[in-house]
Amino acid sequence: MSRRELDVGSFVHFTGFVTGYAAPEASYRIEQLLTLGDGAVLYKIRNDAEPFDRIVAERDLTQS
């Protein structure tokens, strides 16, 4: 089993964000890993400037 590069507490950029509601350089902190029934993993990320969390796929994240 390979080690996941993105762990809880890591800071990332949300590359899937194209609507323009936040600065592209905004950093998000990984809050939780969510494992689906088929083994896929989603990430719960948070930016302190937003009043909500986001649930995203790993392909939409890059390390800060």
Q: What is the per-residue pLDDT across 7-61, written as a single tens digit (0 to 9) for each?
A: 899 999 887 666 555 565 678 999 999 999 998 889 999 999 889 999 998 888 8
Answer whether residue 57 is part of any domain.
yes
Write down the residue that tokens 């990984």 correspond to: 30
Q: Which domain holds residue 18?
A: 11-63
Reported confidence tier of residue 1, pLDDT bands at 50, 70, 90 = very low
Answer whether residue 56 is part of any domain.
yes
Answer whether residue 27 is part of any domain.
yes
CA–CA gap between residue 44 and residue 57 (Å, rounded): 9
CA–CA gap between residue 5 and residue 61 (Å, rounded): 11
Burial class (CB in 10 A: 0-12, 13-18, 19+), 6: middle
Considering its fold, how many domains does the chain have in total?
1
* pLDDT at residue 9, rounded to an integer: 92
